[in-house]
Amino acid sequence: TGTLQVGLGWQAAGETAVVKARPAPRPHGPRSPNQYGFRCGRSTEDATERLLEMVHGAALGAVQHRDICVAVSLDVRNAFNSAPWPMIDAALRGKPVPPRLISMIRSYLKDRSILVGELLLRRDMYVW
């Protein structure tokens, strides 16, 4: 066993491996200030809080001057599980995707469980 010391690294059995903090990703092109997905330091809670601020702001003032506010929400929970994994694999192999990336995705899909309601089902979704 060992100890994790922030800034110093992991120490085990007299060995030290340096742990470096990853730099924040730099934006590639313009991003909307309203984008919360795939952004470092932004969460679902931040997006929900911002949405509620906008809704409350639209309801301020005299009735005739209030803004119309509509919110649309899509529940995409387990959307990836419903995609046929063999088709994902075939699509990746049909494109110029590096074999190492395909291998990583195959590894991610291997030995996965699916939550259906209250039950955790273990199924082989695809045999590579």
For residues 47-72, average pLDDT: 82
Structural domain contains residue 11:
no
SS3 18: coil
Distance of CA 42 to the CA centre of its chain: 11
Structural domain contains residue 99:
yes
Question: If pLDDT is split at 50, 70 and 90, which confidence band does 104 have?
Answer: confident
Counting residues of the chain whose pLDDT is more than 90, the rounded percentage is 2
Count of structural domains within the chain: 1
Query: Quick one: pLDDT at residue 81?
Result: 64
Does the pLDDT of residue 28 top 70, yes or no?
Answer: no
CA distances from 26 to 22, 35, 42, 46 (A): 12, 14, 14, 20
Structural domain contains residue 112:
yes
Give the domain extent around 84.
Answer: 77-128
Does the pLDDT of residue 37 top 70, yes or no?
Answer: yes
Structural domain contains residue 114:
yes
Structural domain contains residue 49:
no
